Structure 1
């Protein structure tokens, strides 16, 4: 129809606009009635209003002052209530009393106040036994005199939108749980609840694949009968082991429509049918590389196959489950490496002090004793040099197994590194047993020949022993004295066992003399700083330098930190040395800034003693203030052990440092014992991968996996990662490919004096 033709008057006549519009409307309605005939008077405006409302997908209704339905469109009647006529009925005829009362009170308030209530979210039964979520607006209805005579209601079905919102929120919460290191069972329980909330009448479970036993391991099934999943645990996977065991076996989804008839469930029906389950849909959980890690299963109480929506949800759920499992495996691996020697699987130094301290407490309670034996293999370097490092590694593993065979369950064997071990013998001795006999049996077991690369190799050991309480009152003293005794074994020709004696303690006098020299060095400021640059892998620019202290000894020349820092820590002088380092580094960086050089951050290591002193933050602020250096150009490096000694105090202190504006970094990451989930509490900017994980890259698969895991987890927590000890191009390229942000090491530059840094900073790109 052409509206303009119908509105044109005959020549010489005029028609007012309202008349023209009414005439056009009538003709339009007549034409619509002709094309789309429906019951009723096609020339009635009420007819068209009713037709329009009935065609709308949204819900429209009118109620009188008593909240009785006067009129409802077709969607309300057929879709929402499943009634043929609502006229004269109230919500009390249709809903539970509590819900009906809620609707009644809202509507009465609208009519009392005359104010509408817009965009209310309501959940109501949908006539099919389910719930619909509606976005409802209710407005007062007035007559021609302006009196409120009822309610006009308009509602839109937002059930699917709310379902999607809940799904997205649930996914975000799951990823957050994974990022902060929540237990796998908690993650999977939340995942199952999310899926069960999305799909009606299903019950979920997550099973993991035990790679050693090749069997099912139950993890989470919050709404399954405990007896059911207890019986599932330990069942070997196979080509016909229900849905989950088969899905793991095939590595692909397995959807069983009817458990009672499907051959995959033959022999396993009693695990599901007695609990009312008739269908089971399972999808395998894969790693990023495609390895099967487990399965997620959904049990239904009616036969049938999953809908397309259900299959998509299963895919989403198994993807998230795979992320959670791999993240946990990476964390476990890092934690294991942090506390154990990768080669032998033995506990490492980080666990030794704790085990000795526990043994001392037990000995005190039982009025007993413990023995700490320090063991060093004789001429181990000769094996490495002649047969290669692979043969040396095999020798270390063989020797470790032999020593373990000689120990009791309550004893401990620790590898300190290289060819050094510590044996901790605890518990009561058997009647007539001599400690020296037990220790000699260990020494002789080490000396038995070992076949390596077709060669029969025999290594001996030098062993030094300290006893508690006679040779030391704590782990430090016992280890130091056992170490002294071991060196005595070396001195007398090796392949020997020596107990600590008072004569060996004479070396304490030498230590006292050294302590006095160090005190004089502090007073005379005999120290000097060298600086090692740090490079951004993306830009190639030097953005920071680490300040490294040297002792310019008047007699022995330039001493490295390893020659005196440990001693300074033991004697309590490290705090004064650390404060000098901080002040000197700040002054030097300000001098570079004043010289117009490109800005860099100077990184300073923080000792445990400094970090534990309550006024230390004020000393940092004082060093910045006196030097004139802006806080953003100073970074403080903290080790994991320093932070984890007292987490609550460390967090508070770190926030105070953050408030100053300085940067914070965790040094030697991976060698301590921090919980990865605790990292989110620390206001740090960077993690520094310890050089021990870098030196064998990219050839060592364990170190490569650890480095990738640290980088991935750090980025998840929005932290930068810097690798120290980078010495080769191959190491750099591996780290670049793994996503590492920054590097430091001899490949870039050895530590140099301040003048050397000035030269490097004038180079646009390294």
Structure 2
């Protein structure tokens, strides 16, 4: 490249031309155009007389000198323009192949500044592009690509044997709901604070990266022991559970961690590790908050089954595979049927009867629970009206509302339309909501409950005792009934803690003049215990499993017959 800048470099030695590229060009142009005239003038000066031959000679010399001067000028200008053409060429090379330019930076005139600035700008641009491609712009942490590169560099040296790598994938529980509760700036600051806390928790040789959204990855190389991974997972969970102070607000979050360990032998193995850790994270979040889960092949099988069920679930209503079964709620003092709870069942043509425990969480996650819940409500209300039209005694119908349904802005209107469509008297409908569904937005929840109560229906607080269970909250909710979760009833005889919680809930309901229903009664001992404590209603396999609607009718008919 230096050889191509010979004339430019030569002229730059003269002080008068050093800082002006225009001066260089003008000097070359001046010399090139005036050399013929100078030669002609010199010829006249040196010639004593001008004969014809001499005149021709002068003209020939002038012509040749002019041609020579023109050629020399063009060549000189061509060389002087080399810095510009080289700069353009280097720009094109960078755009095509991201090859950084090798332009000189020692010249001080305009074109020298152009070359130096071009070289410097492209280098800064290259650094910026490298940063954008390899780092997360919000947290400054490496992204997925840089994580892969760094793990590969650490583990895949040609002479090194395969090294044990652990990948911990951290996901914030319910981050969408948390971010919606705050403005975008606060949500971004929370992500940054989480990233900083993760970096401060791990060792410097561990690799921390942000993959996307609320998911972070930590790669551990050369793990001393399996227990070290467990201790780090526990430390990360406890660290993230501490409140974050953002603009004076204390924000609480919890996380789940998916963990996988493998001897890494090729670059593609990094992607496999991330995939396995993601599956383990999904399982950890299903188990609850602040949980970690190691990957196992069984998790892959479970997720494959889940994906298959999810695909089949979308068309289940159209294929009329869903069924509503009903479980009686019994008056524990008289033994009479007071109500029935509507429970959905999925009768798949290939899989058979699919457990609600498998498909309800899927429906909750993908939003299918909203049309499914509306269908259950409409079907159950129509069935209750049909029983009444058949001359059976009116009973209360209890229907569960999912958290996703409860968040709908037009929930009250949808319930009102369903009652009008099925012509069911609102007094015969009870809607069940869980504590957790109400706690996302207390003010809105109370308004929605009041609007539902104004329709004439009754409300039950489901799974009471497993959530917040605060007396202060409970006094604000306009509910009619508390339902004791089956987890307390299951070992109420053998576990003093379950008995104490159950006794407290019954006493609380009595003091607030609320009805009380116990779920999951399975034997005589549980029934006797609850009766003596004053529990009003109960349901469970001891009385009846959930049954099709045609099996409920005989139970209600028997209730009409006088006892002998």
TM range (shorter): 0.5 to 0.7
1:562 aligned to 2:562?
no
SS at match of 2:201: coil
Alignment check: 8 A CA contact 1:698 1:704 kept? yes
What do the CA deviations read for 1:32-80 (whole angstroms, capped 9, x no partner)?
xxxxxxxxxxxxxxxxxxxxxxxxxxxxxxxxxxxxxxxxxxxxxxxxx
Separation in structure 2 between the aligned mates of residue 581 and residue 646 of structure 1, nearest angstrom: 25
Alignment check: 8 A CA contact 2:331 2:537 kept? yes
Taking only aligned residues, the RMSD between alpha carbons, in angstroms, comes to: 3.8
Match of 1:489 in 2: 296
Deviation at 1:759, TM superposition (A): 1.4
Match of 1:639 in 2: 434
What do the CA deviations read for 1:442-464 (whole angstroms, capped 9, x no partner)?
6699xxxxxxxxxxxxxxxxx95
Deviation at 1:479, TM superposition (A): 3.1
Deviation at 1:522, TM superposition (A): 2.1
Alignment check: 8 A CA contact 1:466 1:482 kept? no
Q: Work out which of the two has the higher radius of gyration on C-alpha atoms and give 1 or 2.
A: 2
What do the CA deviations read for 1:297-343 (whole angstroms, capped 9, x no partner)?
xxxxxxxxxxxxxxxxxxxxxxxxxxxxxxxxxxxxxxxxxxxxxxx
Separation in structure 1 between the aligned mates of residue 302 and residue 418 of structure 2, nearest angstrom: 38
- 1:644-723 to structure 2, matched below 5 A, reads 644-723=439-518
SS at match of 1:583: helix
Change (3 A) 1:593 1:678: same
Match of 1:348 in 2: none
Alignment check: 8 A CA contact 2:449 2:477 kept? yes
Match of 1:480 in 2: 282
Alignment check: 8 A CA contact 2:258 2:281 kept? no
Separation in structure 1 between the aligned mates of residue 542 and residue 477 of structure 2, nearest angstrom: 31
Deviation at 1:482, TM superposition (A): 5.3
Separation in structure 1 between the aligned mates of residue 294 and residue 523 of structure 2, nearest angstrom: 35
Alignment check: 8 A CA contact 2:259 2:294 kept? no
Match of 1:104 in 2: none
1:547 aligned to 2:354?
no
Separation in structure 1 between the aligned mates of residue 381 and residue 279 of structure 2, nearest angstrom: 37
Deviation at 1:731, TM superposition (A): 0.4
- Picking from 506, 520, 526, the partner of 2:315 is 520
Alignment check: 8 A CA contact 1:466 1:479 kept? no
**Count of aligned residue pairs for this structure pair:** 328
- Picking from 393, 407, 425, the partner of 1:598 is 393
Deviation at 1:541, TM superposition (A): 1.0
Match of 2:201 in 1: 428
SS at match of 1:548: strand
Match of 1:364 in 2: 192
1:616 aligned to 2:403?
no
Alignment check: 8 A CA contact 2:517 2:536 kept? yes
TM-score by length of 1: 0.39
Separation in structure 1 between the aligned mates of residue 374 and residue 426 of structure 2, nearest angstrom: 16
Separation in structure 1 between the aligned mates of residue 432 and residue 326 of structure 2, nearest angstrom: 14
Alignment check: 8 A CA contact 1:641 1:674 kept? no
Deviation at 1:672, TM superposition (A): 1.2
Separation in structure 1 between the aligned mates of residue 518 and residue 229 of structure 2, nearest angstrom: 39
Match of 1:414 in 2: none
Change (3 A) 1:490 1:620: same
SS at match of 2:505: helix
Change (3 A) 1:747 1:427: farther
Alignment check: 8 A CA contact 1:471 1:477 kept? no
Match of 1:214 in 2: none
Separation in structure 1 between the aligned mates of residue 336 and residue 448 of structure 2, nearest angstrom: 31
Alignment check: 8 A CA contact 2:326 2:342 kept? yes
Alignment check: 8 A CA contact 1:471 1:481 kept? no
Change (3 A) 1:708 1:481: closer
SS at match of 1:679: helix
Deviation at 1:427, TM superposition (A): 4.5
Greater relative contact order structure (CA < 8 Å, 6+ sep): 2
SS at match of 1:661: coil
- Picking from 512, 536, 542, the partner of 1:747 is 542
Separation in structure 2 between the aligned mates of residue 366 and residue 721 of structure 1, nearest angstrom: 42
Change (3 A) 1:683 1:529: same
- Picking from 455, 465, 485, the partner of 2:259 is 465
Match of 1:530 in 2: 325
Alignment check: 8 A CA contact 2:360 2:369 kept? yes
Match of 1:9 in 2: none
1:440 aligned to 2:235?
no
